[in-house]
Structure 1
Amino acid sequence: MKVTTRKAALGGLAMFGAAVLLAGCGSAPEDSGSTDGGEASDFLPCMVSDAGGFDDKSFNQLGFEGLTKAADELGVEPVTVQSDSETDYAPNLTNLVDQGCNLITTVGFALAAAAGESAEANPDIEYVSIDDTVDLDFDGTTDFENIKPIVFDTAQAAFLAGYAAAAYSQTGVVGTFGGMNFPTVSIFMDGFKQGVDYHNSEMGTNVQVLGWDGTDGLFTGGFEANDTARNTAQGLIDQNVDVLLPVGGPIYQSAAAAIRDSGREIAMIGVDADFTQTDPSVADLMLTSILKGIDVGTYEAVLAAGNGEFDNTPFVGTLENEGVGIAPFHDFESKVPADLQGQLDDLKAAIIAGDVEVASYLAE
């Protein structure tokens, strides 16, 4: 989707999210074990990354892992194409269509417009859209029947991470910044701020959030690990933050470099994957990570399609269906308050029960 205004994007996605959540999301995709492959011998699953690339240690990598796991079980060889910029999206999709792909998975909100055009032009090909509903006309439904959306109400998990950040902070200042102001990026930042604010109201603290005010914030303009990302992180560090949430694939690498250069005790929060596991080089910096089950969701969707059981029903990941969550504290377990995990368990239960509301475009 080429977003002309953030408000327009949020409006359409909010309508879709409300419709899906009211209809019920069902269970989170689960590893169903191996299959006999069924009709998979002639099945060709394919995937297009966004500009972050398949080695981003984040959502592109998770999508790739889900694809390859399903392909292995189906006994087929997947085709993947990496995008280096947004101008690659449409040509990459055309390339995969020309190669005879039966299922094409697009990774990321930025690919929505190109995915919609490709799906419309190729109704016999099945598509999986990770992180976008492909509701380009904003009527509350996915535009084409051959697209399955996999989206995540990440604000719920980010709320828990924000609460944890506020509980951990010693300076009383935490910060966040994103790659681009897409709803799938800002949802992390928004949930994070809500969690910090909730800790302040419940525990009598006064932790300040820099980088996101609830409607706008700091963005680097892309998802590359570069000087812009590093300088953005440094600007927050200079304002005394001691917890930093960079949202946008590889930009966390620039944040980590700025943290190490600062010589200060600054914790980082990862997104999409557990960075302690996907990138051990930053494990010592990780307070926690905000998780999205992209790998499991992709695996299930590809496996179903490969067995002739493609289902375009949208999947919306939540805390309740375990489509989102937060990683363990790992190296920080001894550094956080002893009762913090118990508080987070109770808070998670309250969010699931509806006793604590978390606002997001997928929950409106």
Structure 2
Amino acid sequence: MTITAPKAALTGLVAAGVVALLAACGSAPSSTSTAANSKYLPCIVSDQGGFNDRSFNQLGLEGVQEAAQKIGSSYKSVQSKSANDYLPNIKSLIQQGCNIIVASGFNLVAPVKQAAAENPKVNFVMVDDNSIKADNVKPVVFNTDEAGFLAGYASASYSKTGVIGTYGGQKLPSVTIFMDGISDGVKYYNQQKGGSKKVIGWDVASQDGQFVNSFVDLNTSKTIAQTMLGQNADVLAPIGGPIYQGAASAIKDGGKNVALIGNDADVFLTDQNGYNSLFLTSIMKNIKPTVSTIVQQAASGSKFDNSQYVGTLKNNGVGIAPFHDFASKVDPGLQGELDKIKAGIIDGSIKVESPSAFAE
């Protein structure tokens, strides 16, 4: 069966405390609306996952749209179909007079680095990477291992077979950090409960596992998911934007009671393919409010702040979604346990230490 990612209208993801979360780590931009800079033009370029990925491309676009509305400006967006489009798309936005360009995804690092060096008067927001050191590039990264830890614990609590499967789109730090958190959360559950539940598809010690090698190949994603279902997994966490749709299709075809873990957005809310009811929870990055507030600050006329922003549980930059349709299916005491674990991660009494985590 061939699966193609559908087109869909964008949906919102509301996250509270955006000013507080940015202030807590990195810059503390003001979110005050202003029309004084109505000619200020915010822009965004997607990676090949596209703006209908129900994930970080979509959330980044929504952040730019929200910022444009609040500053009384228009905005421009350009979607990349392949890696060959990245640099030409960025150059096109520069030629159209963009003042700030948001780049969604690790794969855009090289073209952003080149464009930023060649155009020092244009500012960039680099989501999911902090390797570019330049006055006009603000790195925005997320310690999703912290939220992944909570999702891993929840997965272990829910799983009846004791097998949790996870795999990634590509082997990138911004992907494997999720997988580290999930694996460590399952391990912590076993320590606390005397359990023997396991993760397949990722090994923390070797930092190796299974990958689609694409963020858009839903058929390979489905094949990997089917293999994991054959290994008795009843929770699947495909990390990489729209590849969850391949896993969801495998679950539907298999006819078993299997739960999905979403990533980046609350995919229960953003999915428009009829897979909503499959999601136990999602590991979220609060990309929309972060991008919106950074753009608003840049438009305010103050000096561009290129300091690194790290989203954490403490500053509400990351988190997990509600259980939605699974609320009546999880252990009644699970939410209380997760609240205590979250507090422990925040105060440091519970260590979450992915090699891909970012220093705050």
TM, length-normalised to structure 2: 0.89
Pairing 1:220–2:217 present: no
| Secondary structure of residue in 2 paired with 1:235 | helix
Which of 75, 99, 109 pairs up with 2:96?
99
Q: Give the AA of the match of 2:191.
A: S
Residue matched to 1:61: 58
Tell me if structure 2 keeps the 8 A contact 1:30–1:296.
no
Q: 1:74 to 1:189 in 2, by over 3 A?
A: same
**What CA distance in whole angstroms lies between the structure 2 residues aligned with 1:34 and 1:315?**
19
| Bigger mean CA deviation after superposition, 244-253 or 274-283 | 274-283
Residue matched to 2:233: 241
Pairing 1:250–2:242 present: yes
Residue matched to 1:301: 294
What is the CA deviation profile of residues 4-34 of structure 1, one whole-angstrom value per residue up to 9, with x for unaligned ones? xxxxxxxxxxxxxxxxxxxx97427999665
What is the CA deviation profile of residues 28-85 of structure 1, one whole-angstrom value per residue up to 9, with x for unaligned ones? 79996652322x2221111100110001001100000000000011111111010111
1:305 Cα offset (Å)? 1.2
1:226 Cα offset (Å)? 2.4
**What CA distance in whole angstroms lies between the structure 1 residues aligned with 2:167 and 2:29?**
33
Tell me if structure 1 keeps the 8 A contact 2:42–2:68.
yes
1:341 Cα offset (Å)? 0.2
Pairing 1:161–2:147 present: no
1:314 Cα offset (Å)? 1.1
- Point out where structure 1 has 5 or more consecutive residues left out of the alignment: 1-23, 136-141
4+ long deviations beyond 4 Å = 28-34
Q: After the TM superposition, which residues 178-193 of structure 1 pair with which residues of structure 2 at under 5 Å, given as runs?
A: 178-193=168-183
Residue matched to 1:124: 121
Which of 273, 279, 287 pairs up with 2:280?
287
- Aligned-residue RMSD, C-alpha: 1.7
Which of 34, 37, 40 pairs up with 1:36?
34
Q: Give the AA of the match of 1:193.
A: S
Pairing 1:322–2:316 present: yes
1:362 Cα offset (Å)? 2.4
Q: Give the AA of the match of 1:35.
A: S
1:332 Cα offset (Å)? 0.3
Q: 1:320 to 1:296 in 2, by over 3 A?
A: same
**What CA distance in whole angstroms lies between the structure 2 residues aligned with 1:247 and 1:147?**
26
Q: Give the AA of the match of 2:227.
A: G
1:99 Cα offset (Å)? 1.1
Q: Give the AA of the match of 2:281.
A: T
What is the CA deviation profile of residues 213-256 of structure 1, one whole-angstrom value per residue up to 9, with x for unaligned ones? 11111101101142111101111111110000011111001110
**What CA distance in whole angstroms lies between the structure 2 residues aligned with 1:106 and 1:148?**
10
Q: 1:31 to 1:164 in 2, by over 3 A?
A: farther
Q: Give the AA of the match of 1:100.
A: G
| Secondary structure of residue in 2 paired with 1:41 | coil
Q: Give the AA of the match of 2:357.
A: L
TM, length-normalised to structure 1: 0.88
Pairing 1:170–2:160 present: yes
Which of 333, 337, 340 pairs up with 1:346?
340
Pairing 1:331–2:325 present: yes
Residue matched to 2:357: 362
What is the CA deviation profile of residues 86-138 of structure 1, one whole-angstrom value per residue up to 9, with x for unaligned ones? 111111111111111111110011101111111011101111111111x2xxx
Q: Give the AA of the match of 2:335.
A: Q
| Secondary structure of residue in 2 paired with 1:313 | coil
- Point out where structure 2 has 5 or more consecutive residues left out of the alignment: 1-20
**What CA distance in whole angstroms lies between the structure 2 residues aligned with 1:31 and 1:288?**
30
**What CA distance in whole angstroms lies between the structure 1 residues aligned with 2:199 and 2:77?**
39
| Secondary structure of residue in 1 paired with 2:203 | coil
